[in-house]
Amino acid sequence: MTSTRLLVGQILIVFAIMLLGVWAAPQWAAAMLGYQPRLGAPWFGLGGLPLYRPWALFSWWFHYDAYAPAIFNRAGALAGASGFLGCAAAVAGSLWRARQPGEVTTYGSARWAGRKEIRRSGLAGDAGVFLGTFGGAPAAISARDPSSVGRSFRQDADSECSLLAPVNLIDEIG
């Protein structure tokens, strides 16, 4: 599964947790208040159980808090706890995504080439512009100590290339 799918799934799970918590709060409050007609008409019914809109709790809380403060405080705590639970799910999901195996491309996919990739690209030949060494010491050390020589890679093509090297590298070699 790609990291993008994991991220989208994680976002959907967090929103679902928060929505269910905010929706459960008015259902609980309505049940504690005995589904009184003053609460208004339910949004729809499911198996004979009236289900109210998720945001109904906030208007009920404003209008009826003086009559049942303990019920609305608990319902508000339930709605608020769903936000904290959603945050905890987001953190847990982020930790889980960070531990997924495979190449991490969060900041791009640039990386150093391996031996097989260098050979496959045709840079492991003996002719062309010298680009550097692989599998051994850097070029400056290889010039001083022949036993540390790695395999050189070169570009033998009619194309442009750019080589970045430390300052005074030529002075150290020659």
Least confident of 7-21, 36-50, 99-113: 99-113
Does 92 share its domain with 141?
Answer: no
pLDDT at 7 over 50: yes
Most confident of the following: 15-19, 30-34, 54-58, 135-139: 15-19
Which tokens hold the place of 17?
């947790």
Are 41 and 123 in a shared domain?
Answer: no
Q: Which residue has the higher pLDDT, 34 or 13?
A: 13
pLDDT confidence of residue 169 = 59
**pLDDT at residue 170 greater than cutoff 50:** yes
Q: 131 and 62, same structural domain?
A: no
Non-local (6+) Cβ contacts of 161 within 8 A are: 129, 131, 155
**pLDDT band at residue 102, thresholds of 50, 70 and 90?**
low
The answer to whether residue 107 sits within a structural domain is no
Last residue of a domain, one of 98, 128, 156: 98
How far apart, in Å, do the first and last CA atoms of the chain sit?
A: 52
Are 86 and 128 within one domain? no
Domain count, the chain: 2
Domain that holds residue 62: 3-98
Helices vs strands, H then E, count in the chain: 6, 4
CB 138 within 8 A of CB 131: no
Rounded to the nearest integer, the mean pLDDT of the chain is 78
Residue 112 resides in a domain: no
| Chosen domain end from 37, 64, 98 | 98
pLDDT in tens, 144-161: 555 445 677 777 777 777
94 and 122 both lie in a single domain: no
Q: Are residues 85 and 18 in the same domain?
A: yes
Please tell me whether residues 90 and 11 are part of one structural domain: yes
Residue 111 within any structural domain of the chain? no
For residues 57 and 131, state if they share a domain. no
Residues 10 and 94 in one domain: yes
